[in-house]
């Protein structure tokens, strides 16, 4: 019998018989059952794979990111098997993994009802208990087309026709099979901790012109404990959902009469937004940024010249043609406008760095299916800035932006965030500007800036802007998902494209470098994040209503009015509730409104000319004079202190 050599993860080399399966090798080495797949010469494969040549093996644990992904992919197959066993005639389409879970799209005439989702999950548990063996089968593509056509799986036939390989792989468990590259778990019994989490509509291949399918979502974890923790966090995320809280707290709305993705800021939300705008504008001006205003329209030619038209036209609104044959388009970003401002006059090296900033409103066509509250919209206002500098100033300017981001995050109380260095994919010459020297130089500059600031960062291949690499600061939500909020993008390309120049110390005209940067993202996305981060319990400095003055009876109205007017004159956003209602009712109402401070005025307060503040969350402070209360509020705002940020406050 022919022998082959297998190199194991720890470097040990063993001899095994050709044709032996990876599972048998694992068992012979005492590898525990937590391993659900392997890497054969670096490529993920099933444990059922037979070895036929000298190779190296590495184990994929169920608890590793790759292992969890395989587990979830296998759970998606288990769900599809359960659906087709319960509802014959249902067609399966695609079923990939997603962050924290999976989904499968189905073609069925009737919509899945909630009780049917429960039946599907119960059937999945039955199939898992049967511990059906999962096996891979390679088949000629044309034969597979005939097989799936015979099963009535027309979507699979369409997928197969687009696969260039002559041989495809199928996976079978029991009497059910599906087209898939794999790898998968060895049997359905490995799948133990899962939950179906929802159903929604989805267009075939994400194209609105195609047929609407039904998408069932689920999640799967290595252990029941991990599943329970994830479901707990999902419930917490629902409590913090900015769409629900935005409606409850009267912050924003969306009107069908106006259109999806075009939010309306209600008075309370507009107050928070104006505070955000004043905060970041004042901070930027103190650091040498010059704020400007530019129009939200521009000629199509401007974006053709910048390259945005080639790279982003699918996300831009179509041009508007006017009587004079001029084509104008709603801008998807602000950088070409700021470039025009730079070009307005010839700059000297003494003018640099030139920091042009704007709260610029932009428009991007997002498909209706991805629009979500304030986090995904079609009209947005970006905290934008472009720094024009000399090559020698790149590092100090990038460091300055990173320091600014750190200060803002401290003020907002953000602690759970990380840095990502987003790089181009050198193999993708279509998506990214094709200039190796430019990319190498730009990436090196950003690495040095990150090193100077002293932050740990991850690298992400293929996540750069088309014109240059960037540092993305990822804020984690309650589920631990990172979302880009702040960014520092280095750009040698657009200055070249527009022929930007400055006069250097030697009198020669040279090319400046552009740094595109955003600190608090768009007003819309930041508002969505703040609502969820604070669970609607904004800190005092951000709260739309900071203090609510309440009377116990009508006898205190006159003094309560005096307290209210004093607070208002002091610049505090206060409200007066002197209705003839029970105090308990008023307190419950103010708690629902999440106002940081409630001031109760009773007979004692009138007699002593004091106030009795009550913090959101129930903490009762001692009676104090109005001056003491004003001092307390000023100190809290100055230090950006936040009390009771949790959803349960």
Q: DSSP of 542-583, one letter per residue? A: T-SS-EEEEESSGGGHHHHHHHHHHHHHTT--EEEE--SS-H
Please state, in angstroms and rounded to a whole number, the distance separating the CA atoms of residues 285 and 291.
7
Q: Are 396 and 352 in contact (CB under 8 A)?
A: no
Left, alpha or beta for 152 (phi > 0: left; psi -120 to 50: alpha)? left
The edge-to-edge listing of strands for the beta sheet with 320-321 is 297-299, 327-330, 320-321
Please state, in angstroms and rounded to a whole number, the distance separating the CA atoms of residues 29 and 12.
11
Q: What is the pLDDT of residue 323?
A: 67
CATH number, domain 284-534:
3.30.930.10
What end-to-end distance do the CA atoms of the chain give, in Å? 71
The strand pairing partners of 608, in sequence order, are: none
3-state secondary structure of 522: strand
Please state, in angstroms and rounded to a whole number, the distance separating the CA atoms of residues 467 and 335.
12
Please state, in angstroms and rounded to a whole number, the distance separating the CA atoms of residues 374 and 361.
14
Q: Which two tokens stand for residue 130?
A: 């049967």
Residues of the chain falling short of pLDDT 50 = 644-649
Task: Give the contacts of 647 (CB within 8 A, at least 6 positions apart).
Answer: 236, 239, 240, 535, 536, 537
Q: What is the pLDDT of residue 147?
A: 95
Q: Are 488 and 470 in contact (CB under 8 A)?
A: yes
**Block residue for tokens 């080495």:** 29
Q: Are 441 and 478 in contact (CB under 8 A)?
A: no
3-state secondary structure of 3: strand
CA distances from 315 to 72, 337, 439 (A): 32, 18, 25
Instruction: For 246-311, give the DSSP string.
Output: HHHTT-EE--TTT-TT--EE-HHHHHHHHHHHHHHHHHHHHTT-EE----SEEEHHHHHHHTHHHH
Q: Is the pTM of this model over 0.75?
A: yes
Q: Between vectors from CA 134 to CA 129 and to CA 135, what angle results, nearest 5°?
A: 160
Q: Are 52 and 19 in contact (CB under 8 A)?
A: yes
Q: Which two tokens stand for residue 26?
A: 């694992």
Q: Between vectors from CA 308 to CA 307 and to CA 314, what angle results, nearest 5°?
A: 130
Q: Where in the chain is the domain with CATH 3.30.930.10?
A: 284-534
Cα torsion 120, 126, 127, 128: sign: positive
Please state, in angstroms and rounded to a whole number, the distance separating the CA atoms of residues 271 and 100.
35
Cα torsion 249, 250, 252, 255: sign: positive
At the second CATH level, the architecture of 3-61 is Roll (3.10)
Q: Please, what is the angle between helix 523-534 and helix 267-286, to 10°?
A: 110
Give a three-class secondary structure readout of 83-151. HHHHCCCCEECCCCEECCEEEEEEECCCCCCHHHHHHHHHHHHHHHHCCCEEEEEEEEHHHHHHHHHHC
Q: How far is CA 181 from the centre of its chain?
A: 28
Task: Report the length, in residues, of the chain.
Answer: 649
- The reply to whether CATH 3.60.10.10 applies to domain 66-222 is no
Give the H/E segment covering residue 157. helix 154-161
Q: Where in the chain is the domain with CATH 3.40.50.800?
A: 547-638
Task: Spell out a b/e string for 43-65, using b for 16 or more CB atoms within 10 Å of the CB, else e.
Answer: ebbbbbbebeeeeebebbbbebe
Q: Where in the chain is the domain with CATH 3.10.20.30?
A: 3-61
Q: What is the pLDDT of residue 10?
A: 82
Phi, psi of 63 (to 5 degrees): -85, -10
CATH number, domain 547-638:
3.40.50.800
Taking only the tens place, the pLDDT of each residue in 538-563 is 999 999 999 999 999 999 999 999 99
Q: Between vectors from CA 302 to CA 300 and to CA 308, what angle results, nearest 5°?
A: 85
Q: What is the pLDDT of residue 1?
A: 67
Q: What is the pLDDT of residue 646?
A: 37
């Amino acid at each position: 019998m022919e022998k082959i050599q297998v190199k194991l993860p720890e470097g040990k080399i063993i001899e095994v018989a050709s044709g032996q399966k990876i599972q048998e090798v694992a068992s012979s080495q005492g590898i525990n059952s937590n391993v659900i797949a392997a890497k054969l010469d670096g490529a993920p494969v099933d444990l059922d794979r037979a070895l036929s040549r000298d190779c190296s093996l590495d184990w994929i644990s169920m608890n590793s990111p790759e292992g969890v992904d395989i587990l979830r992919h296998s759970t998606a197959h288990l769900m599809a098997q359960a659906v087709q066993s319960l509802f014959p005639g249902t067609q399966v389409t695609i079923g990939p993994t997603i962050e924290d879970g999976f989904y499968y799209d189905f073609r069925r005439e009737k919509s899945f009802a909630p009780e049917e989702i429960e039946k599907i999950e119960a059937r999945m548990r039955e199939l898992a208990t049967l511990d059906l063996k999962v096996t891979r089968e390679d088949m000629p593509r044309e034969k597979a087309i005939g097989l799936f056509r015979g099963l009535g799986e027309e979507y699979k036939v369409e997928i197969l026709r687009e696969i260039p390989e002559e041989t495809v792989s199928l996976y079978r468990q029991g009497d059910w099979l599906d087209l898939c590259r794999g790898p998968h778990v060895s049997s359905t019994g490995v799948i133990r901790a899962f939950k179906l989490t929802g159903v929604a509509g989805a267009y075939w291949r994400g194209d609105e012109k195609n047929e609407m399918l039904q998408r069932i979502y689920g999640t799967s974890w290595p252990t029941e404990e991990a599943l329970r923790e994830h479901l707990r966090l999902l419930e917490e995320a629902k409590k913090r959902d900015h769409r629900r809280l935005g409606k409850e707290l009267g912050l924003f709305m969306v009107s069908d009469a106006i259109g999806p993705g075009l939010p309306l800021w209600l008075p309370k939300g507009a107050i928070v937004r104006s505070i955000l705008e004043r905060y970041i504008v004042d901070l930027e001006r103190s650091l040498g940024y010059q704020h400007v205003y530019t129009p939200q329209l521009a000629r199509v030619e401007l974006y053709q010249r910048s390259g945005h038209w080639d790279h982003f036209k699918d996300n831009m609104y179509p041009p508007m043609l006017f009587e004079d044959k001029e084509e104008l388009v709603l801008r998807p970003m602000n950088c070409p406008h700021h470039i025009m401002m730079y070009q307005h006059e010839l700059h000297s090296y003494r003018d640099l760095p030139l920091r042009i900033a704007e709260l610029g409103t932009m428009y991007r066509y997002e498909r209706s299916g991805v629009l979500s509250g304030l986090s995904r919209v079609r009209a947005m206002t970006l905290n934008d800035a472009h720094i024009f500098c000399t090559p020698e100033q790149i590092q100090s300017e990038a460091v300055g932006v990173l320091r600014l981001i750190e200060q803002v995050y401290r003020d907002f109380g953000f602690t759970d965030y990380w840095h990502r260095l987003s790089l181009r994919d050198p193999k993708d010459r279509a998506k990214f500007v094709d200039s190796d020297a430019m990319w190498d130089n730009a990436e090196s500059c950003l690495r040095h800036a990150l090193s100077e600031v002293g932050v740990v960062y991850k690298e992400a291949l293929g996540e750069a802007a088309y014109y240059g690499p960037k540092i993305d600061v990822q804020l984690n939500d309650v589920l631990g998902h990172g979302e880009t909020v702040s960014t520092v993008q280095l750009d040698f390309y657009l200055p070249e494209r527009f022929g930007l120049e400055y006069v250097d110390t030697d009198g020669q005209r040279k090319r400046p470098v552009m740094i595109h940067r955003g600190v608090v993202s768009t007003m819309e996305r930041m508002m969505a994040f703040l609502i969820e981060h604070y669970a609607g319990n904004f800190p005092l400095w951000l709260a739309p209503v900071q203090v609510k003055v309440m009377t116990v009876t009508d006898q205190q109205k006159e003094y309560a009015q005096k307290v209210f007017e004093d607070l208002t004159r002091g610049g505090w956003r206060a409200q007066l509730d002197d209705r003839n209602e029970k105090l308990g009712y008023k307190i419950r109402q103010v708690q629902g409104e999440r106002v940081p401070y409630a001031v109760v005025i009773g007979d004692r307060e009138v007699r002593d000319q004091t106030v009795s503040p009550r913090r959101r969350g129930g903490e009762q402070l001692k009676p104090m004079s109005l001056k003491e209360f004003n001092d307390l509020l000023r100190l809290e705002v100055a230090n950006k202190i936040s009390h009771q940020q949790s959803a349960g406050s």
